[in-house]
A and B are shown apart, each in its own frame.
Chain A
Amino acid sequence: MLTRDLVLAALFTAIIVVLGLLPPITLGFIPVPITAQSLGVMTAGVVLGAKRGTIAVLLVLLLAAIGLPVLSGGRGGLGVFAAPTTGYLIGWVAAAFVTGLASEKLVRAQQSGLMQGIGFFVASLLGGVIVLYAFGVTYLALVTGLGFSKAFLGSVAFIPGDVLKAVIAALVGRAVMVGYPLLPQRA
């Protein structure tokens, strides 16, 4: 790996950490507050691509594991991996990878802006919602013994917020691609 790719991943980790420090937003039509940190996970894939994006997210989890309060709400330490929602944290890694891979496949520099935006949105939805919830719900179902359908029912309230994040991630991805294109140069 080039030093530049390592630095890009580490800088993006810092961005994800700072996004976790922003206060959560409550929107009228969505029942649960939205934190910006999982937006950072989708954006990592969209902006950096599969390899560097995955490394950035792995670094966030590593920092949390060694006792730094880097997760939203100042959470950190090995204790956060003992929560019923740990599946979502593990899923972050897969989410960044899938979002990154799909972005690399779907988005080309010569496409129109609209097509790029749609490509990024589909990639974010695939990684940041479908893959993420597959991990989160599976873990919740296994650890509680609730079974899949009930575990899914308990998570459903968070989906609208995450779809909204996929829209924002797509817009961010497109804007960064115009301002500082990284995706064409693969890691």
Chain B
Amino acid sequence: MRTLYVEGRSVLHRMPPRAKLLGLATASIVLFATRSIPLLGMFCVASAAVYLLPRLAPREAFERLRPVLLTIVVVGLFTLLFDSAIEAAVFVLRLTSLMLLAAAVTATTGISAFMEEITRLAMPLERIGLVRAADIGLAVGLVIRFVPEVLARTQAIRDAHHARGLKPRMLTLAVPMIILTLGSADEIAAAIDARGLRGQN
């Protein structure tokens, strides 16, 4: 899996992840506190400038935003049609700004920096006995390790369908994929416990 992180040395890259996340949270509160269109417009332009700080290639920069931008535009048009132009403008400017800022944080924060921050944030939850902070990193690592495996299995099941002259359908694809994948859970769990990765149970 390719991550959405972009190598670089911009101001945003050098900022600690916590500061970026707090900044994003503050921005979202500010954005939803105001309804003034000029203010939101300025905010949107400033967000676009922040998004361009890490210097992505223009094409790549646009491609990343396209799916979210598309839903914003569609819902914006819907609002324009069924509500007022002012409501639609407020909505589009708010969400576009937020999307740009969020995408900037994603492009400048690596997976490991994020995981460190999340593990630290989960510490209070560990103290009240809700989760073990270290389990979060372990689970994320497991998923990243097994996605290619599950994908290869799905491809094999699809090939098996073709070999029998069957058309692969959602149901006949999903059931063997789920049973095969979950069937290896015991082995993986035993391997994790044998290495003492989760400490004493």
Chain B binds chain A: yes
Interface residues of A (CB under 8 A from B): 1-4, 6-15, 17-19, 21-22, 25, 36, 39, 43, 47, 55, 59, 62-63, 65-70, 73, 75-85, 140, 143-146, 150, 153-154, 168, 171-172, 175-176, 179-180, 182
Q: Which residues of B contact A4 (CB under 8 A)?
A: 185-186, 189
Kindly count the residue-residue contacts between A and B in the assembled complex, taking CB atoms under 8 Å apart.
203
Name the residue of chain A whose CB is nearest to the CB of B149: A14
Q: Is the CB of B4 within 8 A of A140?
A: no
Chain B residues touching A, majority SS:
helix
Q: Which residues of A contact B110 (CB under 8 A)?
A: 67
Q: Is the CB of B178 within 8 A of A77?
A: no
Q: Is the CB of B111 within 8 A of A66?
A: yes
Q: 5 A-B residue contacts at CB 8 Å? A: A4-B189, A13-B143, A14-B143, A47-B182, A77-B102
Q: Is the CB of B1 within 8 A of A69?
A: yes
Q: Which residues of A contact B174 (CB under 8 A)?
A: 19, 36, 39, 43, 168, 172
Q: Which residues of A contact B68 (CB under 8 A)?
A: 75, 79-80, 82-83
CA distance A15 to B188 in the complex (A): 16
Q: Is the CB of B95 within 8 A of A84?
A: yes
7 additional A-B residue pairs with CB within 8 Å, beyond A3-B192, A9-B139: A66-B111, A82-B95, A84-B91, A85-B71, A140-B75, A145-B91, A176-B178
Q: Which residues of B contact A180 (CB under 8 A)?
A: 178-179, 182-183
> Lowest 9 CB-CB distances: which A-B pairs, in order?
A77-B106, A78-B102, A10-B142, A66-B114, A82-B98, A82-B99, A79-B103, A4-B189, A84-B75
- Closest beta carbon of chain B to A162's beta carbon, Å: 14
Q: Is the CB of B175 within 8 A of A172?
A: yes
- Closest beta carbon of chain A to B167's beta carbon, Å: 12
Name the residue of chain B whose CB is nearest to the CB of A81: B102
CA distance A47 to B55 in the complex (A): 44
CA distance A59 to B188 in the complex (A): 18
Q: Is the CB of B24 within 8 A of A62?
A: no
Q: Is the CB of B65 within 8 A of A12?
A: no
CA distance A85 to B76 in the complex (A): 12
Task: Tell me whether A18 and B198 are in contact in the complex, defined as CB-CB below 8 angstroms, given that A6-B138, A146-B82 are known contacts.
Answer: no
Q: Which residues of B contact A150 (CB under 8 A)?
A: 82-83
Q: Which residues of B contact A17 (CB under 8 A)?
A: 143, 147, 150
Q: Which residues of B contact A18 (CB under 8 A)?
A: 147, 150-151, 154, 177
Q: Which residues of A contact B154 (CB under 8 A)?
A: 18, 22
Name the residue of chain B whose CB is nearest to the CB of A60: B143
Q: B64-102 CB contact bits vs A (8 Å, 1 = yes)?
A: 110110011001001100110001001100110011101
Task: Tell me whether A8 and B185 are in contact in the complex, defined as CB-CB below 8 angstroms, given that A175-B175, A179-B175 are known contacts.
Answer: yes
Q: Which residues of B contact A77 (CB under 8 A)?
A: 4, 64, 102-103, 106-107
CA distance A76 to B63 in the complex (A): 12
- Closest beta carbon of chain B to A74's beta carbon, Å: 8
Name the residue of chain B whose CB is nearest to the CB of A3: B189
Q: Is the CB of A15 within 8 A of B185?
A: no
Name the residue of chain B whose CB is nearest to the CB of A175: B175
Q: B99-123 CB contact bits vs A (8 Å, 1 = yes)?
A: 1101101110111001100100000
Q: Is the CB of A2 within 8 A of B201?
A: yes
